[in-house]
Structures are given as structure tokens and as C-alpha cells.
Amino acid sequence: MKTTLKQKADSLDRVQMKKKARKVQAVLMWMLKAVILVGISYIILGPVISMVSSAFFTSNDLYNPVVVLFPVEGTLENFRGAFQTLVYPRTLLTTVLYVASLTLIQVIVCSMAGYGFARFEFPLKKLLFGCVILTIVLPTDTLMLPWYTEFRNFDIFGILRLVTGGGVNLLSTPIPMYIMSLFACGLRSGLYIYIFNQFFRGLPKEIEEAAFMDGAGSFYTYFRIMLMNAMPSVLTVSIFSMVWQYNDTFYAQLFAINNRLLMSRRIGTLQATIAQAYEIRDTGVTQLYLYAGILMMIIPVVIVYCLLQKRFVEGVERSGIVG
């Protein structure tokens, strides 16, 4: 009798010990997680923070060894200079118009292609979809020169040559980008087609059947019903497309799109322009202007991101990048 009681007490003790051990374990795990997450967040935010603080530095702050993060003198001159050199309001407006219109085109064209691949059976479908994957995987730089020559001497099946006797040089205008996006060959279009395709495949077929029974045509069904149901993936693709297009330098450089039109092009030459205009030889100091300019460039993106962040993450999770 006694022994059993003792055993019981022992086992109770052991249970409590185990509980404690688990608690300690949980706390340790939590601490580990916290350390890792904070560390990684620092790695991501570190350069951003340093950029923000440097943007307010004067040249004295820059060479003051005591100054870390918080400037002693502090100035808004960098922002003023960058604002002027970038012609900020106008450049921002043209850039936003450019990006927004391209995004709209991308969403419509890519969702159409994605829908076509997801819901219709036609000959060579597998092969063609393989080609979509190929366009995602194939590095674009292989094709940059043919694209360049194509738009340098643009001509639709020799029609223009008949009329005017030569092609049109479309470089330095944004038209090449529009043409390419219109035919779903814009910036990462393949990826967007893939995302839309995965999402449409996940939607129940009954929706369309019901629409069909009620006498809706294919295009009506698509625009009024399927696209409305695909809002999470539309949102995801729009954000990706907007941000990547806004930051894009590769296509902008390739087609030599006019500096005055695009923020990403303006930023590229900001440092040199400032050095020339204000006759500053010190690259350290002109860099401060660059930081200010970059901050002004990022701000619209960050605002959009903060507004849409939650829906964006949910959208990506549900929009079936995963398949």
C-alpha cells in the first residue's frame, strides 16, 4: 500500500518535472525564434535604416567620426536637391501612368492566357504550356539584341516599308514595352500566366457551367465572372507587376527609354547630374543626394505595400503560386 502511494507521488513529481521541462523548452524556443527573426529583420532593414539616416546628413556629419545614425547638424538639403534634379512630381506622374497602364495590360493579357490554358482543351496545349514555362526559365538577355533590333527598325510585316520606305525607330519611347506587354512578353509575363493558370484551375467548374446554362458567352463569362472570382490572384499579379515594372532597369536600359519619363532611369543618373550641377567632386557627398533620391523613389512603393501588405500576403498564399 505504502509503496504504491510513494510510486504515485513519484509519478506526479515526474509529471510536474516534465511540465516544467516543457515550459523551459518553450521559452528557449521562443527566445531562439526571437533572436533569429530580429537578426534577419536587422539584416533586411539595416541598409534601409542607414540610407534613411544618411539622407539627412550634411557633409560635416558624413566625416564626423562621432556621428552614427543621428546627424548632429542634419539637413533637408539632400532632399531638396534630389527633388529638383529628379523633377520629382512630373517624373513620378509619368512613371506612375506608365507603370499603371502596363500593369493593366499585363493583368488582362496574362489572365486571358492563363484562363485559356486552364479551362480549354486544344491541340498542342501541353507543348504550348511548356513554352510558357520556357519563357519563365529562359534568361532574357539571350534575346535582348533581337528585341533591340526589332524595335530599332520597327515594321509590321513590311507594311511600313511599302508606305514610307523604312521602319520606325521606336527606341527611347515607351512604345516597345507596351507592344511587348500587349503580347504577353513583358516583364515576367510568363510567371503571371503561370500564377493565373494555377488559380483558375483551382476554381470550381460549376461556376462557368451555370453561366453557360444561363446563356452567357465565353468572354462575358470570363470578364464578368471568372475575373471577379480571381481577385486574389489579380491583386498578387498587379502588385508584382507594379513593383517590378517600377524598379525595372533592364528593359528601360535596353529600349533606352527617355530619362525624363522614368524614375528608375532618372535615379541612375542622379549622382552624376548632382555632381555636375552643384560642382561637388566628393562622391561621398553626392551619395547622400542619391540616398535622398532613392528614399523618395521608394516611398510610393512602400505606401502601396503597407496598404496592401496583408491582402497581398494572403493573396499570394491563396492564389496558388504553389499549385
Partner 1 sequence: MKKKKRISLIQKRAITGLIFITPWLIGFLWFYVKGFIQSVRFSLSDMQMLETGGYQLEFTGLANFKYALFQDAEYNQILVSSIGNMLIDVPLIIFFSLFIAIILNGKFKGRTIFRAILFLPIILNSGAISASIALAQQAVTGGVAAVSAEAAGTGGMNIEYLFYMLEDLGFPAVLSDYLIAAVGRIFDIVQASGVQIIIFIAALQSVPGALYEVSQIEGATGYETFWKVTFPMVSPLIVTNVVYTIVDAFMESEVVQTAYDMAFTNYNWGVSVAMSLMSSLAVCLVLAVIVKLISSKVFYYN
Tell me which residues in 244-263 interact with partner 1 (CB under 8 A): 244, 247-250, 253, 263
The H-or-E segment that residue 144 falls in is helix 144-152
Q: Which three cell numbers stand for residue 191?
A: 510567371
Cα(72)–Cα(154) distance, integer angstroms: 56
Q: How far is the CB of 8 from partner 1 (least distance, A)?
A: 24
- What amino acid occupies position 309? Q
Cα(62)–Cα(290) distance, integer angstroms: 14
Tell me which residues in 206-245 interact with partner 1 (CB under 8 A): 218, 222, 240, 243-244
Tell me which residues in 71-100 interact with partner 1 (CB under 8 A): none
Burial of 239 (0-12, 13-18, 19+ CB in 10 A): buried
Cα(110)–Cα(133) distance, integer angstroms: 13
What is residue 168's DSSP assignment? B
Tell me which residues in 151-170 interact with partner 1 (CB under 8 A): 152-153, 166-167, 169
Between 9 and 67, name the residue whose CB sits nearer to partner 1. Answer: 67
Between 9 and 38, name the residue whose CB sits nearer to partner 1. Answer: 38
Q: How far is the CB of 275 from partner 1 (least distance, A)?
A: 15
The residue from 149, 164, 269, 276 that contacts partner 1 (CB under 8 A) is 149
Cα(233)–Cα(314) distance, integer angstroms: 10
What's the Cα-to-Cα distance from 123 to each of 109, 120, 127, 136, 217, rounded to whole Å? Answer: 21, 10, 9, 22, 22
The residue from 11, 50, 84, 276 that contacts partner 1 (CB under 8 A) is 50
Is 202 a binding residue for partner 1 by CB under 8 A? The answer is: no
Give the binding range for partner 1 (CB under 8 A) out of 11-19, 95-103, 113-121, 274-282.
Answer: 113-121
Q: How far is the CB of 89 from partner 1 (least distance, A)?
A: 19
The residue from 195, 257, 267, 292 that contacts partner 1 (CB under 8 A) is 267
Q: Which residue has the cell 550634411?
A: 58
Between 9 and 104, name the residue whose CB sits nearer to partner 1. Answer: 104
Helix and strand counts by DSSP (H, E) for the chain: 16, 0
Q: How far is the CB of 302 from partner 1 (least distance, A)?
A: 8
The residue from 160, 175, 275, 294 that contacts partner 1 (CB under 8 A) is 294
Q: How far is the CB of 75 from partner 1 (least distance, A)?
A: 15
